[in-house]
Amino acid sequence: MCGIIGVIGTPNAARELYGGLLTLQHRGQDSAGLLTSDETFHLYRGIGMVSQALPLEALTQLTGEMGIGHTRYATMGSGKIEETQPHAVSFPYGISMAHNGNIVNYQSLVQDLRKSKNRHLSTRTDIEVILNLFAHYLSREANGTGFEIEGLFNAIWSAMQDLVGAYSVVGVISQQGLLGFRDPGGIRPLVIGKKKASFGFSYALASESATLRFLGYELMRDIEPGEAVFIPKLGEPFFRKLRDEPKKSCMFEWVYFASPESQLDGIPVYAARLAFGKSMARKVLKHILDKNLNIDLVIPVPDSSRPAAIALAEALRIPYREALIKNRYVQRTFILDSQTKRESAVQLKLSPVESEIRGKNILIVDDSIVRGTTSRQIIRMLKEAGASRVYFASTCPPIKNPCYYGIDFPVREELIAFEKKISEIRDELQADELIYTDVEDLEGALNTKSICTACLTGNYPTDVSEAERLTNDRIVDRQKEEDS
């Protein structure tokens, strides 16, 4: 999962891109990069959070009225600077791209690009595959006639026929304009907005609507699954639906990843999380009645579970307390790239308020349980702070299957719910009770079945026959990172 942004028609693209990446920091903390375009490309990339990776003095070198930016959460390749996005090729025209997602058939496409299309790849990132495929097809479309919008859409269509997986892409074509497209299932999000400029309008593409709002853009709409958009310099957007397949947006966007003030596919994230809490309240009430649970307090695991915990506490009329205090200078633990880092970060991230906890029966509400690392340590922390009993509620159903689409749990054996009953998970976490929502309640809270629930059900929206190779590569990459 990463954050992407593209802008065009603004006097200082670099500053807008930088501000936009700050609002997308929660989507990736490994590295960040900016590319702007005038007569040529200007690129700056760095390791770490946006403020570390992109020093403000570097923005003065990034001139131009259009550009793209990326904040990375690595799910392929290494954390080296060479693999930080955006990436660029010089032929044809000069093209740069950044994306959010994972290409499942990456290895096959790499072989095809090298052997059949004479393309050299210098990194192990899948954006290089997307970029080189598109460049190959766009050069074939041009065929000496020059740049044409119809040819651009044809090139994106051709690339989509080859790509299997999840991807939202933003790109710049030198001297021509800004482009974006979304995978046929719409697994990864992409929105477009506009605002009044000196001459006409400026436009922006981004992973989330909150980014557009922060930069003063009015949300126009989501880019549809399988749709592409091209915004020429000093022109209005051209849209083209290239693939028409069932929408399968990633449910984890609403559960965990997206910013609460965003709206994705017409569904407000904050409202969705409130609905998760109301749905979970019914499950908790059944446990209270069936198992005679006595709950004194509802406590959220900050931050993404807070709306659900509030809604649950209100529905059950149980006191709500912020009794886990978050250290805001620590990264999101889920998206750290190793188990060792995640375990140590939990200790730094959360501190219990003992005066509120001691002697109480606590219901902890979290957005999800993936590997169980954070959940197990929180339960232990609360018991050490004097909690009499700790009950745990997850607003996401048990995650039993790997994600191959851009969330970093590709190894099923690492998942705490893999081949385990809920009672076994409860005992492993050392919780006094464990309560999950189910897939039907999740779909009901979102009021749609057009979501990807592969990690819950094992029903993947794309071919995943090459996923084992992808997983093995990720294991090797992680080991190299930990060894270094």
Q: How far is CA 179 from the centre of its chain?
A: 20
Q: Is 455 a catalytic residue?
A: no
Rg (CA), the chain: 23
Residue 407 half-sphere exposure, CB side, CA atoms within 13 Å? 24
Cis peptide before 303 (omega within 30 of 0): yes
**Residue 435 and residue 293 in contact, taking contact as beta carbons nearer than 8 Å:** no
Which residues are within 8 A (CB) of 345 and not within 5 positions of it... i.e. 6 or more apart?
330, 331, 333, 336
CA distance 422 to 405: 26
Strands (E), 316-358: 324-326, 350-352
**Residue 235 and residue 194 in contact, taking contact as beta carbons nearer than 8 Å:** no
Q: Which two tokens stand for residue 261?
A: 């003030």
Tokens 């028409």 map to which residue? 244
Q: Which two tokens stand for residue 356?
A: 């509120």
For strands 267-268 and 297-300, give the pairing: unpaired
DSSP designation for 62? -
Q: Which residues are known to be catalytic?
A: 2
